[in-house]
Each structure stands twice: as C-alpha cells, then as structure tokens.
Amino acid sequence: MRVTRIGGPSVLVELDGWRILIDPTFDPPGRRYPFALGTSSVKTRGPAIEPSSLGEIDLILVSHDHHADNLDTAGRGLLPTATHVLTTASGARRLALPNVHGLTAGQKLELEVTGRARLEVTATPCRHGPAFSHPIVGDVIGFAFRRPGQPEVVLWVTGDSVLHRAIRRTASVLDVDVAIVNAGGVGFPMTGPLKYTMTGADAVQLITELAPRVAIPAHYDGWSRFRDGEKGMRAAVDAAPPDVRSRIRWLPDGQPVDI
C-alpha cells in the first residue's frame, strides 16, 4: 500500500492497483465556509498536491458531502472524473451523479474496475457530534475495505466521528491492517465544550483498542475550528505506550509513503 497525505482529511491511497482518494479538499486557503446553526470555519492550509497532479482516480470516498472541510468546491469538481464515488445514502441523493453509490452503516458493496482486483467495502458507523446531534450534523460514514473472501480489513477510514459506542464496537471486531483515523477535536464557541470529532487522546484510545498494524492520523490541521489539532494529536501519541506509539505513522505532506 502506498499512501500520500494531501492535507486535512484528504489522502491518496494506492492499494492493489486501485487509486483511492479520500475526502477531496483542494481549495486554496483563506476562505470561510458555513456549517450548521451559524457555525463556520476558515481553511488555513492549501493542498500539498494539486488536482492536476493526481492522475487517474478509480474511487473517491466522501465520508459526508455537506461539510466543506471534507468536500470543498474543487473537490466536488473531481467527483465526475472518478470511476466510483462512495458516500452516505443521503449524500448520494444530493450529489445526484451516475457514478455515486450511497451507503448506510453496515451496508456492503463489491467494487470492480477493469484491470483491478475486486474490493469489498463496508460502511462503518460515525457520530459527528454529541448524542442526539444527528439532526444538525447529518449522516457520516467510514469505510472498511477487504479483499473478497478475506476476513482482514486491509484499510479502514474512520471518517469524522467522536469516540462513541458504535465506533468502539466496530474497532473491537475488525482485524485491520492500515487505519486512517480522523481527529482534531472540532469545537465551536457557540456550542461550548461539545466536541464534533475525536481529540488526539480519543484517537489514541481508538487505535489502542483497534491494534492495527499501522495507524495514520488525519484531519487534525488545515482548518480554524480545531481545538485539539496537531499539537494535541502529537502530545497524545507521545504519551501513548510504546506498543501503541510504534503503530502510528506520521505522513509528510505530498510525499508517497509505502506502508
């Protein structure tokens, strides 16, 4: 597997010949994007790779389409160019593109592309905020990939989620090779101490319970509303037990890394 960090949640994964782009965000920095209930965030870092340098994309994963920090304007422009796009069932209805497949948590889909080995994907649960926040934050999913007929998950993309019962239960039953774990500890002044994604400490706890071969932190920088951010993620990793710390791999910006 080869993995390239683009920035924020955006990662390019090359797996068994597949070129998989996660949560494409390619707008330049400086713009403020509105979220729900009057909240907003400013993009503070641009992508480490421009869309023109990506090459052919077989599959784009969109954990949720309604927040610009996971799918911005330039990212939306890439969706029609991919062979397949996976997102939530409600997101698929909004995007309304012929190459988009909508999934709900627990649903499976087998994907095919000419010249590639088949991949099986299962949508995994996320909760993008405190309990009972779903009517405000909307649907979000993660993605667990297996080779057909094999029990091991070769890649798990957690999506944006707090650390809650369903995602911990998922971690307890998966045998994962590589996990891409979104963190950052998102919060907003108007909602006080409430969290909308995992902090670094939460992410390390999930990685501890999951015990993947490799865990890659993601979505911890590049936006103004991270309370925990890269500093919190690095502090949590540094404080983790050696056997957990040894699993965590920091990726450089824009440079392919063989995992």
Helix (H, G, I), strand (E, B) or coil at 11: strand
Two tokens, residue 56: 């052919």
- Considering the entire predicted model, what is its pTM? 0.96
Q: Tell me which DSSP letter residue 53 carries.
A: G
HSE (side-chain half, CA atoms, 13 Å) at 57: 26
Using DSSP, state whether 236 is helix, strand or coil: helix
Domains, in order of start, for the chain: 2-258 (3.60.15.10)
- Per-residue confidence (pLDDT) for residue 85, from 0 to 100: 98
- Burial class of residue 139, CB neighbours in 10 A (0-12, 13-18, 19+): buried
**Distance between CA atoms of residues 222 and 112, nearest Å:** 33
pLDDT digit of tens for each residue in the chain (259 aa)? 999 999 999 999 999 999 999 999 999 999 999 888 788 889 999 999 999 999 999 999 999 999 999 999 999 999 999 999 999 999 999 999 999 999 999 999 999 999 899 999 999 999 999 998 899 899 999 999 999 999 999 999 999 999 999 999 999 999 999 999 999 999 888 788 889 999 999 999 999 999 999 999 999 999 988 999 999 999 999 999 999 999 999 999 999 999 9
**Rounded to the nearest 10 degrees, what angle do helices 229-239 and 200-210 cross at?**
40
- Percentages helix, strand, coil for the chain (3-state, rounded to 5) are 25, 30, 45
Pairing of strands 32-34, 40-42: antiparallel
In this predicted model, what pLDDT tens digit does every residue of 79-131 receive, in sequence order?
A: 999 999 999 999 999 999 999 999 999 999 999 999 899 999 999 999 999 99
pLDDT for residue 129: 93
